[in-house]
């Protein structure tokens, strides 16, 4: 039996090298042992691995109980009759079988090993153990990263106009809808924000026209902003210094004060420096101003200048009496607290105006006649009060002279007309009662208790004179001030963790109406500090003072904003 | 770029010089270790920790300014402090990059390389705090934060390198035992051939014993770093297989086990040596390329911020 072994070696450069040898024996043994007919080197081969034998034209392969076995077309076999085209596997070696008559050939292909560790030159082999030869070149990595950075960070955003990656920070909440569209504000490549861009949406009249650059945004409520006539501007508090202010503003543009990309709540600059650079020497800049110079919070002038504030209300009020315990109330003794009369407005910033109906009526009765225990005069102008009294007494008199119950019953044939003198008598009797009650109310009891009352100029024309009856008294309008420091932004709600007395002082000792219990600056300084100070609230000018007048967005501009946002959404 | 720091090169070449005479005395090795020890001391704490204190003061002053100075619109890169720190950080980054050039100029006499390295390390570390102070801790998904992220990669890889350098440099001499990588490999190859010869014409049981204990060296840095060059083996299996060898081959079996044990020892030494040297270098593959990308991202950051201002 002649076995031809055909070996194809594929070199690393791709060239092929063919070699063949012939083994001519009756039985051919494959194995690791040096006595084998075909010596296989490798740790997977047994000493005697397999045997090839021939019986006529039949070739048999036998596994000699080898370590890694013998396989035909991938299946392990113990003994197998070979035929052409089959692949025999001995360990890692795979032979392709070709049979022609009495000769057989085994062909196999190997590629030249890349890293045959044992055979190669150690110096060459050692190369693989040096860091620089095992990793990609640092130069390649560097250039790749640089190109990636420049492409991703500069070129792509520039070409694609997807430039959010350039945005250095979040926009304010109001600008959030236009955040993705940089060109809404940055008109052009690498363009800073121009005032023109701001004016696409914002009516800047409060900046353009000094007249509306007022001192404080008094009444800047959402209610105001929602009014249909928002185009109207508050112009009644114009002050002479606004022109000076505007001249300063003209040197700047919008973004010098309103810096974007600093988070959702930071568009309005609250630097004290923006205020005090004028207000520190305001008298020099605008000599006609009535305002005092302000250098800093620490040197903030007193709230009412040098004056002691007095309450100008024309009404009698004694806080001391009202705050005494166990007052006589409608349903027994009551002890009042501040909030029984001073109640927060719905926006929780200021106090509701005092109202007699809500705050006084339950204790202070306007009753006038013991015979009419449930009747009170209306809390109305004196004439109305007198007319009410007259009507009440007329009714009372009629009821008492009831013809059915009374003695002067009409006789048959007698005239139905009340004699004129009897009518006059009735009128004068009613008037007498009414005037007495009026005198009592206006000079001693209910009205007199609170109101400043003076005699009326008319002589008190009665019904008998044929005219509408008029009161003999006149009430001076009470004019109770509702807001005191009208230029300040304030919120009682923000101060609800302190007692009323801690700011308003010893109201419980006050006996005069004119005592104004307004907070003093020193009291504010207990908690508020101009700059960061341990345990105090850092407070800048804008905490209490508005900068511009209420920003009134015109109806046309509102529409512009709506169009802009819907345009962006549609583009998405 | 591929070169290690000069000190490292010096030490390595020292070791290599010793390696020329394979039986270098233990005294020399100890002397080397001592020198490395002192070198490591001076690079962190060069000249009474001069650079540590300078940079600590820098960070402290910047932090105090950040805490006590309240800009009108809150802290961000656009305030006076933001611009100041941004400018200083840019200058610092350029100076830190210059170290890559400085370490190659061996003839410089005005400064010592060790001083420069000390300044490089401490200034680099201080940037991890200075840059967030510059930005007012405003981070987002944008190219500005990308620059910070890249910088943190550079700093962290630098910390890793500096720590490796401090802890591993002194071990270089110990592993090699006077052997160069290729000399070790030569010995290993010689042993492998002898093992092959021993196995020749021996029984399959003998081969099984060899297969359980012997291993093939597959070269690679990563394998060494992962300590996977020399695979584990089961001592009891080897002992059992040795028992199973025919008695005629028993002596050869014991001889082969001895040879393989020696091969394992040499390979382990090679593995540790390559591992140590690589750990002293691999971090540079992040440190250097990312620092170059960082310079470009800082440039983009500056262009975008100032053009859109």
Q: What backbone torsions phi and psi does residue A80 show, to the nearest 5 degrees?
A: -150, 140
| Nearest chain B Cα distance for residue A225, angstroms | 25
Q: In terms of CA atoms, which chain A residue is nearest residue B193?
A: A118
Average pLDDT value for residue range B157-166: 90
- Helical (H) or strand (E) element with A501: helix A500-504
> Residue B128: its pLDDT value, please?
94
Q: Where are the alpha helices (DSSP H) in A186-271?
A: 195-199, 205-208, 222-225, 242-250, 254-257
- The DSSP code sequence of A273-312 is HHHHHHHTTHHHH-TT--SPP---STTPPPTTTTSPPB--
Q: Please state, in angstroms and rounded to a whole number, the distance separating the CA atoms of residues A295 and A306.
A: 17
* Closest CB from A67, A129, A142 relative to B181: A129
At residue A560, the pLDDT reads 65
**What are the Cα distances from residue A101, in Å, to A1, A5, A72, A86, B274?**
10, 16, 21, 16, 58
Any A CB within 8 A of B64 CB: no
**Residue from A90, A129, A143, A146 whose CB has the most chain B CBs within 10 Å, to mutate:** A129
Q: How many CA atoms lie within 13 A of B299 on its CB side?
A: 11
Q: How far is CA B38 from the centre of its chain?
A: 19
Helix (H, G, I), strand (E, B) or coil at A492: coil
Least confident of A454-468, B175-189, B269-283: A454-468
Residue in B216, B229, B233 with CA at minimum distance from that of residue B274: B229
DSSP line for A303-341: TTTTSPPB---SB---HHHHTSSSEEETTEEE---HHHH
User: pLDDT value at position A61?
Assistant: 92
Which of the 8 DSSP states describes residue A515?
B
Residue B77 token pair: 């890169």
Q: B85: distance to nearest CA of chain A, Å?
A: 17
Verify whether the Cβ–Cβ distance A169 to B308 is below 8 Å.
Answer: no
In a structure prediction context, what are the per-residue pLDDT tens digits for chain A, which is 572 residues long? Answer: 889 999 998 887 888 889 999 998 889 999 988 889 999 888 888 888 999 998 877 899 999 988 888 999 989 999 999 988 999 998 888 999 998 888 899 999 988 766 554 456 777 777 778 777 778 899 999 999 999 999 999 999 889 888 888 988 888 877 887 888 888 888 888 888 887 888 777 665 544 443 333 333 333 334 433 444 333 333 333 333 343 344 455 556 777 767 788 877 656 666 677 677 767 887 776 666 677 888 888 888 888 877 888 888 889 999 999 999 999 888 889 999 999 999 998 888 888 888 899 999 888 989 998 888 889 999 999 989 999 999 999 888 887 765 544 455 666 776 666 666 666 777 888 888 999 999 999 999 889 999 999 888 765 554 445 567 788 899 998 888 888 887 677 889 888 888 998 999 889 899 999 988 899 888 898 888 877 677 788 787 877 876 544 344 455 555 666 666 666 667 65
Q: Do A130 and B221 touch (CB under 8 A)?
A: yes
**Residues of A in Cβ contact (< 8 Å) with B73:** 259, 262, 266, 269-271
Q: What is the pLDDT of residue A306?
A: 76
Which chain A residues have a beta carbon less than 8 Å from that of B196?
Answer: 118
| Distance in angstroms (rounded) separating the CA atoms of residues A130 and A257 | 59
- CB within 8 Å of chain B, chain A residues 148-187: 148-150, 153-154, 157, 164-170, 186
What pLDDT does A103 receive? Answer: 85
Nearest residue to B52 (alpha-carbon basis) of B113, B128, B130, B115: B115
**Paired sense of beta strands A2-10 and A103-111, if any:** parallel
Using CB atoms, pick whichever of A125, A138, A190 lies closest to residue B2: A138
How far is it, in rounded angstroms, from Cα A53 to Cα A31?
Answer: 15
Residues A454, A291 contacting (CB under 8 angstroms): no
Round to whole Å and give the CA distance between A559 and B233: 80
Nearest to B189 among A47, A122, A531 (CB): A122
Cα gap A133→B221, rounded to integer Å: 9
Average pLDDT, whole number, for chain B? Answer: 81
Q: How far is CA B284 from CA A141, B271, B292, in A?
A: 11, 20, 12
Q: Is A109 helix (H, G, I), strand (E, B) or coil?
A: strand
Alpha-carbon gap: A499 to the closest alpha carbon of chain B (Å): 31
Contact B85, B133 (CB under 8 A): yes
Q: Do A192 and B305 touch (CB under 8 A)?
A: no
As a whole-number percent, the residues of chain B with pLDDT over 90 amount to: 34
B182/A123 CB distance under 8 A: yes
In the block, residue with structure tokens 């020696």: B262
Query: Could you give the 3-state DSSP secondary structure of residue A46?
Result: coil
The answer for residues whose C-beta is within 8 angstroms of residue A227's C-beta and 6 or more apart is none
Q: How far is CA A542 from the centre of its chain?
A: 18
What is the ipTM metric for this complex? 0.79
Helix (H, G, I), strand (E, B) or coil at B303: helix
Residue A473 φ then ψ, to 5°: -125, 160
Buried b (16+ CB within 10 A) or exposed e, B69-107: eebbbebbbbbebbeebbebbbebbeebbebeebbeeee
Q: Measure in Å the smallest separation between the Cα of A25 and chain B Cα atoms.
A: 21
**Cβ distance A181 to B152 under 8 Å?**
no
Q: Does B60 touch chain A (CB under 8 A)?
A: no
* Per-residue model confidence (pLDDT) at position B22: 41
Looking at chain B from residue 205 to 234, which residues have their Cβ under 8 Å from any Cβ of chain A?
A: 207-208, 210-211, 214, 216-222, 224
How far is the CA of A511 from the CAs of A3, A323, A328, A517, in angstroms?
A: 133, 11, 19, 12
* B164 pLDDT tier (thresholds 50, 70, 90): confident
Chain B: closest CA distance from residue A560 (Å): 24
Give the orientation angle of helix B143-168 with respect to helix B284-307, to 10 degrees.
Answer: 150
Residues contacting residue A401 through CB under 8 Å, at least 6 positions apart:
A408
Q: Which of A32, A66, A131 to mutate to test the interface with B (most CBs of B within 10 A)?
A: A131
Q: Facing residues of A2 across strands?
A: A24, A103
At residue B64 the predicted structure's pLDDT band, cuts being 50, 70 and 90, is: very high
* In chain B, residues 276-305 whose CB comes closer than 8 Å to chain A: 277-278, 281-282, 284-285, 288-290, 292-293, 296-297, 300, 303-305
* Higher-confidence position of A71 and B3: A71
pLDDT of residue B11: 39
Long-range contacts of A467-472 (CB under 8 A, 24+ apart): A468/A383, A468/A387, A469/A383, A469/A386, A469/A387, A469/A390, A469/A431, A469/A434, A470/A383, A470/A386, A471/A381, A471/A382, A471/A383, A471/A385, A471/A386, A471/A438, A471/A442, A472/A386, A472/A435, A472/A438, A472/A439, A472/A442
Residues A445-464, buried b or exposed e (16+ Cβ, 10 A)? bbbbebbbbeebeeebebbe
**Which of A47, A132, A532 is the closest to B203 by Cβ?**
A47
Which residue did the predictor score with more confidence, A118 or B185? B185
Query: DSSP alpha helices (H): ranges in chain B?
Result: 6-20, 26-68, 80-102, 113-135, 143-168, 172-176, 181-199, 204-213, 221-225, 235-244, 250-279, 284-307
List, for residues B95-152, the tens digit of each pLDDT value: 999 988 888 877 766 778 888 888 999 999 999 999 999 998 989 899 999 999 999 9
User: Are B182 and A125 a contacting pair at CB < 8 A?
Assistant: yes
Residues B213-262: pLDDT tens digits?
Answer: 988 888 888 888 888 889 888 888 888 898 888 888 889 999 999 999 99
* Chain A interface mutation, best of B100, B185, B205, highest count of A Cβ atoms under 10 Å: B185
Q: Identify whether the C-beta of residue B51 lies closer than 8 Å to the C-beta of residue B119.
A: yes
Inter-chain touch A118–B200, beta carbons under 8 Å: no
d(C-alpha B219, C-alpha A1), whole Å: 44
Half-sphere exposure of A451 (CA within 13 A, CB side): 24
Residues A134, B308: C-beta atoms closer than 8 Å: no
Predicted local confidence at residue A529, as pLDDT: 86
In DSSP notation, A345-380 reads -TTSSSBPPP-HHHHTTTTS--B--TTSTT-B--SS
Under the banding of pLDDT at 50, 70 and 90, the label for residue B21 is very low
pLDDT at B306 over 70: yes
């Amino acid at each position: 039996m002649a076995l031809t072994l055909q070996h194809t070696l594929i070199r690393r450069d791709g060239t092929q090298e063919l070699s063949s040898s012939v083994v001519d024996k009756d039985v051919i043994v494959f194995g690791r042992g040096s006595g084998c007919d075909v010596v296989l080197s490798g740790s997977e081969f047994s000493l005697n691995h397999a045997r090839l034998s021939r019986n006529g034209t039949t070739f048999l392969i036998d596994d000699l109980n080898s370590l890694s076995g013998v396989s035909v077309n991938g299946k392990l076999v113990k003994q197998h009759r070979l035929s052409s085209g089959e692949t025999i596997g001995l360990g890692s070696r795979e032979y392709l079988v070709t049979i022609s008559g009495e000769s057989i050939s085994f062909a196999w292909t190997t590629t030249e090993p890349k890293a045959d560790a044992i055979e190669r030159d150690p110096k060459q082999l050692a190369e693989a153990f040096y860091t620089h030869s095992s990793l990609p070149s640092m130069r390649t990595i560097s250039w790749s990263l640089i190109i990636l950075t420049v492409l991703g960070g500069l070129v792509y955003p520039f070409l694609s106009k997807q430039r959010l990656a350039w945005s250095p920070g979040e926009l304010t909440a109001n600008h959030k809808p236009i955040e993705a569209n940089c060109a809404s504000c940055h008109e052009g490549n690498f363009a800073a924000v121009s005032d023109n861009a701001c004016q696409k949406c914002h009516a800047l009249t409060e900046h353009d026209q000094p007249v509306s650059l007022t001192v404080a945004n008094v009444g800047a409520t959402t209610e105001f902003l929602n009014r249909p006539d928002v185009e109207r501007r508050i112009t009644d508090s114009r002050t002479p210094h606004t022109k000076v202010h505007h001249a300063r503003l003209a040197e700047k543009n919008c973004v010098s004060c309103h810096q974007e990309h600093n988070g959702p709540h930071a568009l309005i600059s609250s630097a004290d420096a923006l205020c005090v650079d004028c207000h520190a020497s305001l008298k020099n800049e605008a000599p006609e101003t009535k305002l005092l110079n302000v250098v800093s919070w620490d040197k903030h002038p007193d709230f009412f200048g040098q004056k002691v504030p007095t309450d100008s209300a024309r009404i009698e009020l004694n806080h001391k009496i009202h705050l005494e315990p166990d007052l006589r109330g409608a349903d027994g003794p009551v002890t009042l607290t501040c909030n029984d009369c001073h109640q927060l407005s719905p926006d929780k910033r200021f106090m509701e105006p005092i109202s007699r109906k809500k705050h006084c009526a339950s204790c202070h009765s306007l009753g006038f006649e013991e015979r009419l225990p449930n009747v009170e005069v209306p809390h109305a102008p004196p004439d109305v009060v007198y007319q009410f009294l007259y009507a009440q007494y007329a009714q009372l008199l009629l009821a008492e002279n009831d013809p059915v119950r009374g003695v002067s019953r009409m006789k048959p044939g007698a005239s139905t007309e009340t004699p004129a003198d009897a009518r006059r008598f009735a009128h004068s009797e009613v008037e007498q009662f009414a005037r007495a009650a009026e005198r009592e109310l206006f000079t001693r009891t209910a009205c007199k208790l609170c109101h400043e009352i003076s005699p009326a100029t008319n002589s008190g024309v009665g019904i008998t004179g044929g005219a509408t009856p008029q009161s003999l008294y006149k009430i001076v309008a009470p004019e109770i001030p509702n807001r005191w420091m009208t230029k300040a932004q304030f919120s009682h709600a923000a101060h609800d963790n302190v007692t009323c007395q801690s700011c308003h002082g010893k109201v419980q000792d006050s006996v005069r109406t004119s005592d104004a219990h307004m907070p003093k600056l020193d009291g504010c300084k207990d908690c508020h500090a101009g700059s960061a100070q341990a345990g105090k609230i850092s407070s800048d000018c804008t905490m209490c003072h508005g900068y511009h007048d209420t920003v009134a967005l015109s109806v046309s501009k509102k529409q512009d904003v709506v169009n802009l946002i819907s345009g962006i959404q549609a583009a998405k | 770029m591929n070169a290690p720091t000069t000190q490292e090169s010096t030490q390595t070449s020292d070791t290599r010089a010793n390696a020329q005479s394979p039986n270098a005395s233990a005294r020399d090795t100890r002397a080397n270790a001592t020198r490395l020890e002192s070198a490591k001391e001076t690079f962190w704490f060069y000249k009474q920790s001069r650079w540590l204190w300078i940079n600590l003061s820098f960070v402290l002053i910047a932090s105090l300014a950040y805490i006590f100075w309240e800009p009108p619109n809150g802290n961000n890169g656009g305030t006076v402090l933001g611009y100041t720190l941004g400018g200083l950080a840019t200058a610092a980054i350029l100076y830190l990059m210059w170290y890559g050039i400085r370490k190659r100029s061996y003839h410089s006499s005005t400064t010592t390389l060790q001083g420069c390295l000390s300044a490089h390390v401490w200034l680099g570390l201080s940037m991890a705090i200075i840059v967030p102070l510059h930005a007012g801790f405003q981070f987002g998904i944008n190219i500005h934060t990308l620059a910070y992220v890249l910088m943190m990669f550079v700093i962290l890889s630098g910390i890793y390198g500096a720590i490796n350098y401090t802890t591993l440099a002194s071990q270089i001499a110990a592993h090699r035992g006077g052997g160069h990588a290729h000399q070790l490999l030569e010995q290993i190859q010689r042993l492998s051939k002898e093992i092959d010869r021993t196995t020749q014409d021996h029984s399959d049981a003998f081969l099984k014993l060899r297969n359980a204990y012997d291993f093939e060296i597959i070269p690679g840095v990563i394998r060494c770093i992962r300590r996977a060059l020399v695979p584990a083996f089961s001592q009891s299996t080897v002992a059992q297989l040795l028992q199973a060898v025919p008695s005629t081959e028993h002596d050869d079996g014991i001889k082969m086990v001895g040879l393989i044990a020696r091969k394992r020892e040499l390979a382990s030494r090679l593995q540790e040596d390559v591992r140590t040297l690589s750990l002293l270098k691999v971090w540079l593959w992040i440190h250097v390329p990312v620092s170059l990308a960082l310079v470009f991202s800082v440039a983009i950051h500056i262009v975008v911020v100032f053009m859109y201002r």
